[in-house]
């Protein structure tokens, strides 16, 4: 459940510094333009993820592993966690199903809740990428710090890219806990089949519908 809460909360990399757009060097694109270009290339993605969560002192609190699939053109994604406990988080572009195998429970959310609750949506949904709502800084060519203009708690994303594409998303909540999402074994596609984002309801589970 911790992964889902962080995805919905999405206060990423909240530091003591204030993020603001940095001026571009002559002849180079602005951070906003460079980030927009990077995100424009992100359509379909299939990757292995490792999530590491640290407290404010750098002590590792949690580690989880699994697979992440994304089709940003249809606002669809799925996260299949295999360690330490099996779970599924599946969105078909309208509804979000979260299955906790150990509890035999499925919680259903409206996609609008995720859209309202998390600026992480800029990664998931091409249609909602309105970068005018954010300030963007690029301390290096492949790293971007993205913050909502209206947030007052200093929360900001750190997204890193390599020659293949998006590789790391780092976060820190206002309490100082830091989460690092590392993507490996990445395969980028123009699209991912919609069947990948169909949630199959297991038999005998308890359903908590919060839509």
State the average pLDDT over residues 112-123: 61
What pTM does this model have?
0.76
Residue 207 has pLDDT above 80, yes or no: yes
Q: So what's the pLDDT on residue 199?
A: 96
pLDDT single digits (tens) 137-166 = 999 989 998 877 776 666 677 889 998 888
Confidence of residue 90 (pLDDT cuts 50, 70, 90): very high
User: 3-class SS at 198?
Assistant: coil
DSSP code, position 117? H
State the average pLDDT over residues 93-104: 93
More confident residue, 131 or 171: 171
- C-alpha to C-alpha distance for 73 and 42, rounded to whole angstroms: 9
- C-alpha to C-alpha distance for 68 and 78, rounded to whole angstroms: 6
State the average pLDDT over residues 194-203: 94
Least confident of 42-51, 162-171, 172-181: 172-181
Q: Which of 188, 119, 126, 185 is nearest to 148 (CA)?
A: 119
> Which residue pairs from 60-69 have beta carbons closer than 8 angstroms and sit at least 24 positions apart in sequence?
61/177, 62/2, 64/3, 68/183, 69/45, 69/192, 69/196, 69/197
End-to-end CA distance of the chain: 18
Q: So what's the pLDDT on residue 14?
A: 24
Residue 50 has pLDDT above 80, yes or no: yes
- C-alpha to C-alpha distance for 137 and 135, rounded to whole angstroms: 7
State the average pLDDT over residues 87-110: 93
Q: So what's the pLDDT on residue 123?
A: 57
31 close to 21: Cβ distance less than 8 angstroms: yes
Three-state SS string over 12-59 comes to CCCCCCCCCCCCCCCCCCCHHHHHHHHHHCCCEEEEEEEEEEECCCCC
Q: So what's the pLDDT on residue 88?
A: 94
107 close to 90: Cβ distance less than 8 angstroms: no
Percent of the chain with pLDDT over 70: 76
């Amino acid at each position: 459940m911790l992964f889902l809460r962080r995805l919905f909360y999405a206060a990423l990399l909240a530091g003591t510094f204030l993020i603001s757009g940095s001026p571009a060097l002559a002849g180079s694109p602005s951070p906003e333009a460079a980030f927009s270009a990077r995100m424009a290339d992100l359509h379909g993605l299939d990757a292995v993820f490792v999530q590491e969560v640290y407290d404010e002192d750098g002590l590792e609190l949690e580690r989880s592993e699994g697979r992440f699939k994304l089709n940003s053109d249809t606002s669809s994604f799925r996260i299949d966690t295999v360690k330490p406990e099996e779970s599924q988080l599946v969105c078909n572009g309208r509804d979000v199903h979260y299955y906790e195998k150990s509890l035999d429970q499925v919680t259903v959310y409206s996609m609008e809740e995720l859209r309202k609750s998390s600026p992480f949506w800029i990664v998931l949904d091409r249609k909602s990428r309105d970068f005018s709502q954010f300030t963007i800084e690029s301390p290096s060519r492949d790293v971007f710090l993205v913050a909502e203009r209206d947030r007052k708690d200093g929360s900001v994303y750190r997204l890193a890219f390599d020659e293949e594409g998006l590789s790391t998303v780092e976060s820190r909540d206002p309490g100082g806990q830091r989460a690092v999402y590392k993507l490996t074994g990445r395969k980028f596609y123009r699209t991912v089949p919609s069947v990948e984002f169909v949630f199959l309801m297991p038999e005998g589970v308890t359903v908590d519908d919060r839509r």
